[in-house]
Amino acid sequence: MPQGDQVKNGKAFEYALAKTYTDYIQRAGVTVCLECNDALAVAKGYYDGFPQEQQNRFTFAAIQTIDTMVKLEPGLLAQNNAHDPLLIFLNSDSHGIGGDVRDVVFRRMNPSWEIGFSAKNNNDAVKHPRLSSVLDFGQSWFGIPCSQAYWDEIKPIFDYITSLKEMVSNWSSLGDEKTRKIYFPLLMAFRNELLRIDAVGSQIPRKLIQYLVGRYPFYKIIKDDVHNLVVVKAFNLDGELNREVGGMRTRYRTPKINFPTRIVEFEMKPDSEDALHMILDGGWEISFRIHNASKMIESSLKFDIKLLGNPPILFTQHLFQE
């Protein structure tokens, strides 16, 4: 699926979740407010742009998750009085940069309670950051600036890319040279620097998961049309999900998920020339695949980062679509 279509589908699914839950909670007699912010307007625009049949698929996938979520999160329906509304809103994309991966957020003020959904439409990547000659991934990911050794290591790679822009217009013209002269050395420079940061920094494995997976506990909702599934995963980081609200208790506890404490292995992915594979303790595994985000040669490269493994106790429910 082209990146533009992927964004449109993802945003449309976010809107379907927010609107479906708003309608359901209203019918249950609970006061609810769907915040009409810019993020909602954009998502609604994409949703409205799809044919009715596709809109129905987004909405039906959202409906399928409701029974599970109201059993897991009593705060959705708990209400002290008419002045205790449930606020539902969509996060802007800028929140993801800071490690908040929640797309749809549910919040109560009295008592204070909040959960969020990360909505995925036929896509389970966790992050798409870039590397360039000026982007400091150490600072943005961990709060630790990259070393001079890293900048020295990547400079000839990006100098080479700059020279290419003057001679050829697209990546495909490079053939195997793209992997040999750009992908592989850049991945090695990234790997070396991340391990340097891990050696000097504090709680780097935890901060890596917080950057990639999220700083806040959340539910990942994956709409998987290939397998006719909707998958619900509870990332109960530090045990913050399933809280009792207004005297209402959860009907099921999701296991607390701990952050990793050390990097066990970090090498090239077997049989791959464009991806690194990281194994951390606690069952966490991450793939870092690098690629050119467009056909035209540009001065940065993009990661497609996926969570290959998570703690085995992570709550996962598969809901079959008809």
pLDDT digits (tens, 9 = 90+) for 204-248: 999 999 998 888 889 999 999 999 999 999 999 878 899 998 888
Shared domain for 116 and 34, answered yes or no, is yes
Q: What is the pLDDT of residue 174?
A: 82
Residue with more model confidence, 18 or 124 = 18
Q: What is the DSSP letter of 259?
A: P
| Statement to judge: residues 102 and 230 lie in one domain | yes
Residues 279 and 268 occupy one common structural domain: yes
Percentage of residues of the chain with pLDDT beyond 90: 68
Q: Taking the chain, what is the end-to-end CA distance rounded to the nearest angstrom?
A: 23
Residue 1 pLDDT: 46
Residue 74 has pLDDT above 60, yes or no: yes
Q: With contact defined as beta carbons under 8 Å apart, do 7 and 117 qualify?
A: no
Closest to 21 (Cα-Cα) out of 111, 107, 109: 107
Pair (162, 241) in one structural domain: no
Query: In which band, very low, low, confident or very high, does the pLDDT at 98 lie, cut at 50, 70 and 90?
Result: low
Place of tokens 């791959």: 272
Which structural domain, as residue segments, surrounds residue 176? 126-208+259-309
User: Are 27 and 154 found together in one domain?
Assistant: no
Number of domains the chain is built from: 2
Cβ contact 10:220 at 8 Å:
no
40 and 155 inside one domain: no
What is the C-alpha to C-alpha distance for residues 253 and 190, in angstroms, rounded to an integer? 39
109 and 239 share one domain: yes
Q: What's the one-letter identity of residue 11?
A: K
Which of 235, 215, 219 has its CA nearest to residue 141? 215
Residues 150 and 288 in one domain: yes
pLDDT digits (tens, 9 = 90+) for 104-149: 999 998 878 999 999 998 877 778 899 999 999 999 999 999 999 9
pTM to 2 decimal places? 0.85
> How far is 315 from 95, CA to CA, in rounded Å?
25
Q: What is the rounded CA–CA span in Å between residue 21 and residue 178? A: 47
Q: Residue 188 has what pLDDT?
A: 97
Q: What is the pLDDT of residues 245-294, one digit of tens each?
A: 888 899 989 999 889 999 999 999 988 889 999 999 999 999 999 998 78
76-95: per-residue pLDDT in tens? 999 877 778 999 999 987 65
> Contact, 137 vs 290, CB < 8 A?
no
Q: Are residues 78 and 221 in the same domain?
A: yes
Do 102 and 57 share a structural domain? yes
User: Do 152 and 9 fall into the same domain?
Assistant: no
